[in-house]
Structure 1
Amino acid sequence: MRQRKNLSRGGMTLREEIKQKKGVATLYVVLRILVILVMVAQFLNGNFENVFLCILTLILFLVPTFIERKIRIDLPDTLEVIILLFIFAAEILGEIQAYYITFPYWDTMLHTLNGFLCAAIGFALVDILNRSERFSISLSPLFLALVAFCFSMTIGVLWEFFECTMDHFFLLDMQKDTVVHSISSVMLDPLGGNHPTAIRDITDVIVVTADGVQHALGLGGYLDIGILDTMKDLFVNFIGAVVFSVIGYFYVKSRGKGQFARRFIPQVLPAEEEQKEVKSVE
């Protein structure tokens, strides 16, 4: 009966769907209330950029429901909960509450989780075609895992492109800088050649502006402009993608018997005719 109920969700009303997914619905309501409270506080404090982030967060909260009801994809409850928490943790806690600065590994955690979730979505996109009777294809578990991995890494790279664009044009510093104590560059070659020249034991950097004013940064080292942060983000995205790709491989290998993977892999809802047949059987 549980499988039949899941298959017939596409024909449910919103109220019936909320009753069936009480945990997700409760979390959704709680997070929306928290975001609205934060938005009001930011508006009263005159932080209108943060108000925009709150509005964006509320819009992003609608994406899982839109996918389920419009594109006819059934998101497992676990996946939906993680997506909602991910959005809240990234936009509200990370940006507005400055968790990215307060907790050094907050950004690392989110990028690792992003790699895991994107691999699950990429895996589902191909697995849906692999199971569909409309397409005469049969892909191996290894190929499915490889596609999931590549999809996740592509999303990670595109996000870093976005961060770099925002930093370049709007100076948002989304690619957080890192203090290092040694650098090596061919730009420092006294002969102007292609030989990297190193500077070690850097304790401070002095910046001279166009008007001749000098600013000692006082950072205790040289300011790396986002490169190390980008590579770290891609590496942890790689770890998350590999973890789910391995899980997905064994999920397909066991013909879909893995209970853990099911919690993260979206499924296509049946056609309306199939739903009517299911209801008539019940």
Structure 2
Amino acid sequence: MGYFSVKKKRNFKDKVGMLLFLILIVCVIYVVVRIIVSPSESESSKEYVKVRSDYVLMLLQCILGLIVMFIPSVIERKKSIDIPDSMEILYFIFLFLAIVLGEVRDFYYIIPYWDIILHAFSAGMLASLGFVLIGIIKKTGHLKYYLSPFYIALFSFCFALTMGVIWEIYEYSADGLLSLNMQKYALADGTRLVGRKALSDTMEDLIVDALSALVITILGYYQLKKEENMD
């Protein structure tokens, strides 16, 4: 019974991954067509119309999504590490929410605080992954020293926040090199923000990353303390 349960879960994870892959392929085709037919500059000052650079950002995100969605399977194959299926499914869901809904379907502009919601989701997921990574290292026998629940929680918090910082560096670099608007320093109609308003998106993202990761690491800490006291 246990074998069939595991096989069913793995099949579900594979189906979710395949569905995401097909959706991203369709998005790539759609965006390429829009790049070809869209104007390079907005022809109307009264009504905002997406231009070629907007679709270049979408294409970049879709291609990046197609690449990074295979990272868990590559790690499992190369390092002989079994990443929990639940973590991989959450990862696929995040990519769908961020790329397909966020970028392609414009949820970043349509849904209030969509970016904040995704940062909270991703930071919590990454903090959970930090605990999982320590558990995996323990199982492989490479961790030769005892780590208290506090240090495991601290590692998970720092891991999540570091990944958030790396993401902001990626967004900043992409905006500078490709003239994109990933850090939302401009409004949907192209109006550029100045001063604190131009920094607010980045700082809000990092603050939300920290708060979400902190909540998960506190919960994880108390769970580890509980398990430690039961041993």
Superposed displacement of residue 93, structure 1: 1.8
Tell which deviates more after alignment, 54-63 or 40-49: 40-49
Q: Does 1:27 align with 2:35?
A: no
TM-score normalized by structure 1? 0.63
In 1, Cα distance between equivalents of 2:175 and 2:148: 41
Counterparts of 1:79-90 in structure 2, within 5 Å, are 79-90=87-98
Q: Does 1:92 align with 2:81?
A: no
Q: Does 1:102 align with 2:118?
A: no
Distance 1:131 1:251, change over 3 A: farther
RMSD: 3.0
Counterparts of 1:219-230 in structure 2, within 5 Å, are 224=196, 226-230=198-202
Q: Does 1:255 align with 2:224?
A: no
What stretches of structure 2 of length at least 5 have no aligned partner?
37-51
SS of residue paired to 1:104: coil
Decide which of 220, 233, 243 is 2:215's aligned counterpart.
Answer: 243
Q: Does structure 2 conserve the Cα–Cα contact (< 8 Å) formed by 1:119 and 1:241?
A: yes
Q: Does 1:231 align with 2:206?
A: no
Which letter maps to 1:249? Y
Q: Does structure 1 conserve the Cα–Cα contact (< 8 Å) formed by 2:9 and 2:85?
A: no
Q: Does structure 1 conserve the Cα–Cα contact (< 8 Å) formed by 2:87 and 2:129?
A: no
What corresponds to 1:177 in structure 2?
A: 185
Counterparts of 1:5-154 in structure 2, within 5 Å, are 21-45=10-34, 46=36, 49=56, 50-130=58-138, 132-154=140-162
1:30-77 Cα offsets, whole Å, 9 max, x none, are 222222222222233326734454333222222222222222222222
1:140-165 Cα offsets, whole Å, 9 max, x none, are 10111111111111111222222223
Superposed displacement of residue 131, structure 1: 5.1
Q: Does structure 1 conserve the Cα–Cα contact (< 8 Å) formed by 2:161 and 2:209?
A: yes
TM-score normalized by structure 2? 0.75
In 2, Cα distance between equivalents of 1:29 and 1:113: 22
Q: Does structure 2 conserve the Cα–Cα contact (< 8 Å) formed by 1:35 and 1:92?
A: yes
Q: Which has the higher contact order (CA 8 A, sep 6+)?
A: 1
Decide which of 166, 175, 194 is 1:158's aligned counterpart.
Answer: 166
- Percentage identity across aligned positions? 33
In 2, Cα distance between equivalents of 1:135 and 1:81: 27
SS of residue paired to 1:139: coil
Distance 1:20 1:82, change over 3 A: closer
SS of residue paired to 2:180: coil
Distance 1:233 1:83, change over 3 A: same
Distance 1:120 1:172, change over 3 A: same
Q: Does structure 2 conserve the Cα–Cα contact (< 8 Å) formed by 1:178 and 1:228?
A: no
In 2, Cα distance between equivalents of 1:68 and 1:133: 17
Superposed displacement of residue 86, structure 1: 0.9
Higher strand share: 1
1:226-274 Cα offsets, whole Å, 9 max, x none, are 31111110111012211221222123223389xxxxxxxxxxxxxxxxx
Q: Does structure 1 conserve the Cα–Cα contact (< 8 Å) formed by 2:81 and 2:136?
A: no
Superposed displacement of residue 134, structure 1: 4.5
In 1, Cα distance between equivalents of 2:79 and 2:140: 16
Distance 1:249 1:68, change over 3 A: same
Higher helix share: 2
Superposed displacement of residue 169, structure 1: 3.6
Q: Does structure 2 conserve the Cα–Cα contact (< 8 Å) formed by 1:60 and 1:87?
A: no
What stretches of structure 1 of length at least 5 have no aligned partner?
7-16, 180-216, 258-282
